[in-house]
Chain A
Amino acid sequence: MAHKADMGRIGLLAAMTALFALLIAFLSFVVDARTMARERVLIAALAKRPLSSRPPVSSPGGTMRVYRIEGEPFFGSLVEIRAPQGSAFIAALFSASGEPQEIRLVDTSPALLPFDEARLFRDLVGKKSGRAVGSAESWIPRAAQKAFSEAAGTIRGAAAGGL
């Protein structure tokens, strides 16, 4: 009888844990959908053109998604630059070879992290673009090179895969 009661309690516990797991899974889908919607708006605003309706391609680590610009040989992504002093989100347009064509600083954390969009773009591709936000620190180009080289690899893969 005691064994039966114990089994009942374990069953109830398992059901509660399963419900909790389902709630977390559902909320993670909601967050993912909102993040994708935000990325699409930011990239479309940068490209000044709508995005293709095809589903985006994720990077191998799942850290970024690549979108195709409708009717143009360009791809867009929201690149996260991560460094010990903080992180920054950059909306970027790439060619099919993975070369950045246009970038825009979206957000930084901490909020007033020293950041120079124009210098960053110059360091990445030897061109000038965007507005200056502050003076750049030495870590930004290194962290940006790493993030953009990962993005370029994903974009080359997506272009080869026919996105």
Chain B
Amino acid sequence: MSEHGSAFVPQSFLLRFFVVCPLAAAVRSLSEGLAIGLGTALICLVLGLLAPPLRSLVPERLRFFFFLALSSGTTLLYGLALEYSLPAVAAGLGVYLPLLMVNELSLKALRQGTPLPSNTSAEAECSRQSRFAALAIEALMYLAFVIVFGAIRELAGLASLSLPWPDMPRIRLLPVPPLPMLVAPAGGFMLLGGAAALYKVWLRLRGRRSL
């Protein structure tokens, strides 16, 4: 909270960085990238879809607690589904799976899904649809990012690529892992730092200095 008592809402780039930080630590392989990326996208879309119609039903003073419960419940359901179908992947993700409910993207979905009322119902509906479409595109972009990120970590750290289903072939692509450290938690942040540096270089090449 700021000193004026309003909620802290990070600026766009910082928010995106907040979203990928916990994912970067958690995702060590292509299969874990798929599992956690799908979870993030699903929870974000469910919240974005359910929050606007439920908003009128929930009294103002209960809104925060209700939507937090909705977010926690959806995350729990996804966690149970993952544990049911892919127990090893769910165990590997450990505490990072429940953390999806307070992921910055989920909180953003809640914020976008519970805006102040517009002047007319048509305006409100139009605004709701465009917000949901923007949220869906963003969720899919995070899904793609996390999958690629996990694949790079697994390839560099374990010299292999594997899909989460036990019957799928597990492919060893290189004889020796080129960078074994990348599969450790610190490796995730090293890769994220490298990606941020590349983004900064790309911005400079385009003639922009600020993020």
CA distance A110 to B170 in the complex (A): 10
A145 within 8 A of B: no
Contact A110 B59 (CB under 8 A): no
Contact A110 B183 (CB under 8 A): yes
Q: Mark B83-102, 1 if CB is under 8 A from A, else 0.
A: 11001110111100000000
Which single residue of chain A is at the shortest CB-CB distance from B27?
A: A110
Q: Are A35 and B83 CB-contacts (below 8 A) given A13-B62, A113-B158?
A: yes
Q: Are A112 and B170 CB-contacts (below 8 A) given A10-B59, A24-B77?
A: yes
CA distance A107 to B88 in the complex (A): 6
B29 within 8 A of A: yes
Neighbouring B residues of A35 by C-beta, 8 Å: 83, 87
B40 within 8 A of A: no
CA distance A27 to B154 in the complex (A): 32
A87 within 8 A of B: yes
Instruction: Identify A27's interface contact among B77, B157, B159, CB under 8 A.
Output: B77
Neighbouring B residues of A153 by C-beta, 8 Å: none
A127 within 8 A of B: no
Contact B57 A84 (CB under 8 A): no
Neighbouring B residues of A12 by C-beta, 8 Å: 57
Q: Are A80 and B91 CB-contacts (below 8 A) given A31-B83, A85-B183?
A: yes
- The binding surface of chain B is classed by DSSP as helix
Neighbouring A residues of B112 by C-beta, 8 Å: none
CA distance A13 to B89 in the complex (A): 34
Closest beta carbon of chain A to B58's beta carbon, Å: 6
CA distance A80 to B77 in the complex (A): 22
Contact A110 B76 (CB under 8 A): no
The winner among A84, A112, A114 for most chain B CB atoms within 10 A is: A112
Instruction: Identify B84's interface contact among A13, A34, A84, A85, CB under 8 A.
Output: A34
A17 within 8 A of B: yes
B66 within 8 A of A: yes
The winner among A17, A34, A110, A114 for most chain B CB atoms within 10 A is: A110
Contact A111 B162 (CB under 8 A): yes
Contact B87 A110 (CB under 8 A): no
CA distance A113 to B166 in the complex (A): 14
A67-99 residues at the B interface, CB under 8 angstroms: 80, 82, 84-87, 89
Contact B57 A110 (CB under 8 A): no
Neighbouring A residues of B77 by C-beta, 8 Å: 23-24, 27
Which single residue of chain B is at the shortest CB-CB distance from A112?
A: B160
B69 within 8 A of A: yes
Instruction: Identify A110's interface contact among B29, B70, B166, B172, CB under 8 A.
Output: B29
Q: Are A114 and B31 CB-contacts (below 8 A) given A10-B59, A86-B183?
A: no
B152-166 residues at the A interface, CB under 8 angstroms: 154, 157-160, 162, 166
CA distance A108 to B170 in the complex (A): 12
B32 within 8 A of A: yes
Contact B62 A111 (CB under 8 A): no
Contact B32 A13 (CB under 8 A): no
Known: A109-B31, A110-B29. 20 other contacts (CB 8 A): A9-B57, A9-B58, A9-B59, A13-B62, A13-B66, A20-B69, A21-B73, A24-B76, A27-B80, A35-B83, A82-B94, A85-B157, A87-B92, A107-B166, A109-B29, A109-B92, A110-B160, A111-B160, A111-B170, A112-B172
